Amino acid sequence: MKRVLTLGLAVLTIVFARDNVANGQNTFAARNVAIVDGALEPCRSGELVFSDDFQDASLWNLRNYRDLLEFRFGVELRGRRCLVISREKALDEQSDSPHDTAWALTRALTALPSSRTASEFTLRLTTIGALNYEGKGFDGPSWRGSINWYDAEKSPIDSTPTLFRAATQWNEFTYTGAIPDAARYYELQIGCDAPNIEPGDYLALARVALEMVDSQRPYCNDGEFISDVFSGGAFTWDAATPQGTSVKFQVASTTVDAQGELGEFTPFVGPDGTVDSYYTEPFEVNSDLAIRYRVILTPGATEAPRLLSVRIDDFPVWSVGLHLASSPAEVRLLGDYAQPSRERNAPIRFEISDNTVLRHRSIRVALDDVEVTNRLRYDIRTLRNAQLRFVAPEPLSEGLHRLDIDVENIHENTSHATRYFYVGDAPTTPLVTLRNDGATLIDGEPFFPIGIYGVCKREFNHFDIDEAFKGLRQAGFNFAHSYSMPREDEFLQAAEKYGFKLWSVARFPDERFVEVERHCPAIIAWYLADDTCANTTVSELSDYHQSVKAVDPTRLTVQADPIAAESIVSNYAPYVKGTDAYLPEIYPVRKEGEGSGDRCVAQTIRDVVRARSDAQNANDGPKAIWPIIQYFQGWGWERFPTNEELRAMSFGALAAGGNGITWYTYGGFVEPEKKKFNYGVTTTPERWNNISTLATQINEISPALLEVTQEELQPELEIVAGPQQNLLGEPSVVYLLKRHEEYNYLLVVNSVREQTSVKFRLREAPRCESPEILWQDANVAQCKFDANVLVDTLEPFGVRVYRWK
């Protein structure tokens, strides 16, 4: 299924600003290219109708939540005069929200050209930041970027959201979309709520421009992209070139001396060694050379070529995630100490790899705070990879040891990695692994997690943790997390007593993790990060993951985060390699009122599909996706999902391919004196009955959910009546067929709040007249097979689980 990343009517594209090319010390550079739907394309362009370079503060209305930021117009920064937004005020830890720095700039209502014929727009925003920065979509209309459209009477008619981004070099981020037919005026707003600008960080804006684009001839010029520095090798790419378009490459190369310094690059040349020739077929460059490649994308009048990926020796050197997300050097323990070992004198081995070129001379290593760099010896050394070893100055003592590794790449980007390892015995608990499709295996036996966050002593369980687990077991759950509660032995003992599996926090140094929890058979996964992108860097998550695996190789690692699936680079994509499993936080029902929750099922399906896609694209082995579905009120969310919404979101997550399911949260935290009113599933009998019924039903079909999906058995869907697409532009009905023993199970979920009629053409004829509809509601009519066709009508947010032989 083709994925189009959109925000309202706007398609987010990105245009990179050109840097000077000098000895490889710059990053990638480009001219007139954009990223659209994960591919590099020539940019759409048109008539310029508005431009501003942020020299005059009086032209903009400034708003800043809690006045924590400073706005300085006309400041010189990195070769441009611009607006710099920074935070000089220190954090006030006594505040309820010391980090919150929502901001917005708004330009006065402006008339569109009276003679315009264009029906599309292109908005260009040139920015830079202290860090790679992307708005994550948590903000409402007050703070997010947008173009607000008005009619001839200056009445609002529509709003096109725009996602704010900045990178660590000047870049031009571009948004394209449709202009409403009735629009005669527009109001431009630039802003973002999250992530926050922390003390010492900054964002800067150098130019904003709005163009009207002729949709009949949107492509006017070639696009050019010049890469970062990589080592040579076998060069391949994946591109789509409609008739009249082309993609062609040239390469510039240089040598790398013993100190890791680059020589002068040759000109960009093609296969005959001249600047006038281009590669149009895969080719190879000496792997001892450092290279940059140049790609020219030539469009036709109405169609554009699309560059999807570029690889050297099957190593990605162009992809959306590579160029738009942080990518620190990877450090991996090898040999004896990649797992617990009783060896005290074995060589300590590790590997460093980078997606550009390593500066080998920059490598520094310390063992237990003692520098051992002069003891390093190479086993393998290439431009982008190093496998090294050393022997500790003294025999290693039993217990935890710490390895600190610092390295720099050719762009002077530094990485620091901390790796713990353990001298002693490994735990003897069951081995937890993942099947190729992400299913959890405990000593080789499949396990389907049905879990709940925040299990704790509450009024509901008479402040008895044993009673809590007993009730959860009766309700169909098998998986739990204490979540921010004290880590106590009685919690572990109660979980074991009722056959529960747990995911639990792990950090270093952590004596309880090493001495107690890693020996508890109930724990099957270590929880390394919560709200990952807001609290943890890519390097930090890698530190946690690699260290936990070295001390306890018998279990999985997990993280939780809102995925921001609408973003070009999701929250998960940079962090995929940091854990074995991912829990996308799916909390889409936020407000009271009409229309609230209309997208909740569509968002759930989209988020799970995006998580699975990100995991697959990372090519880092199997990953489990355990969605966290909202069933709470509080923390800024005004209401619980209805039972109808809850069921459709939950079964939608499973039909979209979730390898397990969890819900947030078991207990709330009501503190009237602090004006905190946060509620979980145990706050009313009705809510407990809803979640218990749901967990019990999922538990009942979990043997089928654990079966490997057979793609060749998936039926063909036709939507006969009702919306063809949901509010996010995806098919309105999601489905999944599983075969268990002699039965077929077909999960079907309607993701729109409208009645929808469906027709499924089965790949194999059933051996009965009609399917059983599990847990059939009295209002659901029995349906029959017509040969190998199944027809049914789904109510708004309707859920079906059909079973037949």
Q: Which token pair is 425? A: 């015995």
Is the pLDDT at 14 greater than 50? The verdict is no
For CA atoms 128, 68, 413, 339, the dihedral sign is negative
pLDDT for the residue numbered 13:
41
Specify whether the CB–CB gap between 545 and 556 falls below 8 A.
no
Please check whether residue 15 is in contact with residue 43, taking contact to mean a CB–CB distance below 8 angstroms: yes
Q: What is the DSSP letter of 522?
A: T
List C-alpha distances in Å: 683 to 384, 610, 659, 670, 686. 55, 32, 28, 10, 9
pLDDT of residue 26: 43
365 pLDDT exceeds 50? yes
**Is pTM beyond 0.95 here?**
no
Average confidence (pLDDT) over 176-190: 92
Contact present, 306 and 240 (Cβ < 8 Å): yes
Mean pLDDT, residues 133-160 taken together? 82
- pLDDT confidence band for 149 (50 / 70 / 90): very high
Please list, in sequence order, all residues whose beta carbon lies within 8 angstroms of the beta carbon of residue 240, skipping any fewer than 6 positions away.
39, 305, 306, 308
Q: In the prediction, which pLDDT does 322 show?
A: 62
Label residue 136 by pLDDT band (50, 70, 90).
Answer: low
Q: Give the CA angle between residues 338, 342, 347 to the nearest 5°.
A: 55
Q: What's the pLDDT score for residue 15?
A: 41
Q: What is the pLDDT of residues 187-206, one digit of tens each?
A: 999 998 877 888 888 999 99
Averaged pLDDT for residues 17-29: 42
Res. 107: pLDDT tops 70:
yes
pLDDT value of position 38: 78
Percentage of the residues of the chain whose pLDDT score is greater than 90: 67
Q: Which of 108-122, 124-138, 397-411, 649-663 has the lowest mean pLDDT?
A: 124-138
Whether 135 shows a pLDDT value over 70: the answer reads yes
Task: Pick from 33-47, 236-250, 669-683 the range whose average pLDDT is largest.
Answer: 236-250
- Alpha carbon distance 389, 350 (integer Å): 6
Token pair 């925003």 in the structure block, residue: 125
Q: Quick one: tokens of 531?
A: 């709200």
Q: For a pLDDT cut of 70, what percent of the chain falls above it?
A: 94
Give pLDDT, residue 4: 29
**DSSP secondary structure, 108-151, as one string:** PPEEPPTT----EEEEEEEEEESS-EE--S---TTTSEEEEEE-
Given this model, what pLDDT does residue 671 score? 82
pLDDT exceeds cutoff 70 at 18: no
d(CA 140, CA 67): 18
Report whether 564 contacts 136 (CB < 8 A).
yes
- Distance between terminal CA atoms of the chain? 29
Q: Is the pLDDT of residue 555 over 50?
A: yes
CA dihedral 86, 165, 31, 21 (to 10 degrees): 50
Q: Which value, to the nearest 10 degrees, does the dihedral of the CA atoms of residues 191, 192, 196, 201 take? A: -30
pLDDT value at residue 134:
73
pLDDT tier for residue 27 given thresholds of 50, 70 and 90 = low
Distance, CA of 60 to CA of 191 (rounded, Å):
12
The pLDDT, as a whole number, for residue 140 is 62
Which residue would you say has higher pLDDT here, 507 or 92?
A: 507
Sign of CA dihedral 662, 663, 667, 670: positive
Q: For residue range 704-737, list pLDDT tens digits in order.
A: 999 999 999 999 999 999 999 999 999 999 999 9
Query: Residue 672 phi/psi, 5° resolution?
Result: -55, -35
For residue 388, what pLDDT band results from cuts at 50, 70 and 90?
A: very high
- Report CA-CA distances (Å) from 688 to 156, 303, 471, 604: 43, 55, 10, 22
**What pLDDT, on the 0 to 100 scale, is given for residue 445?**
97
Confidence of residue 514 (pLDDT cuts 50, 70, 90): very high
Helix ranges (H only) for 183-266 are: none
Residue 6 has pLDDT above 60, yes or no: no
* Higher per-residue confidence, 93 vs 285: 285
pLDDT at 321: 62
Tell me: pLDDT of 266 over 50: yes
Phi, psi of 389 (to 5 degrees): -150, 160
Q: What is the mean pLDDT of the chain?
A: 89
Confidence (pLDDT) at 780: 80
Task: For the beta carbon of residue 723, count every other beta carbon within 10 angstroms.
Answer: 17
Task: Return the H-helix or E-strand segment holding 159.
Answer: strand 156-162
Sequence-distant (≥ 6) Cβ neighbours of residue 698 within 8 angstroms:
448, 450, 476, 650, 654, 661, 705
pLDDT for the residue 526 = 97
pLDDT of residue 39: 87
**Range with top average pLDDT, 12-26, 101-115, 462-476:** 462-476
Residues of 91-107 as b/e, b for ≥16 C-beta within 10 angstroms?
eeeeeeebbebbbbbbb
Residues 601-632: tens digit of each pLDDT = 999 999 999 999 999 988 899 999 999 999 99
**Lowest-confidence pick of 14-18, 131-135, 411-415:** 14-18
Give the span between the Cα atoms of 312 and 289, in whole angstroms: 13
Angle at 31 between CA 25 and CA 32, to 5 degrees: 150
pLDDT in the model for residue 7: 26
For residue range 303-362, what is the model confidence (pLDDT) as tens digits? 999 999 999 988 888 876 665 555 788 999 999 999 999 999 999 999 999 888 899 999
The total number of residues written for the chain in this structure: 805
Is the pLDDT at 8 greater than 60, yes or no? no
Encode pLDDT of 632-661 as tens digits: 999 999 999 999 999 999 999 999 999 999
> What is the DSSP secondary-structure string of 634-702?
BTTB-SPPPHHHHHHHHHHHHHTT-SSEEEE-S--EEEGGGTEEEB-TTSSHHHHHHHHHHHHHHHHHH
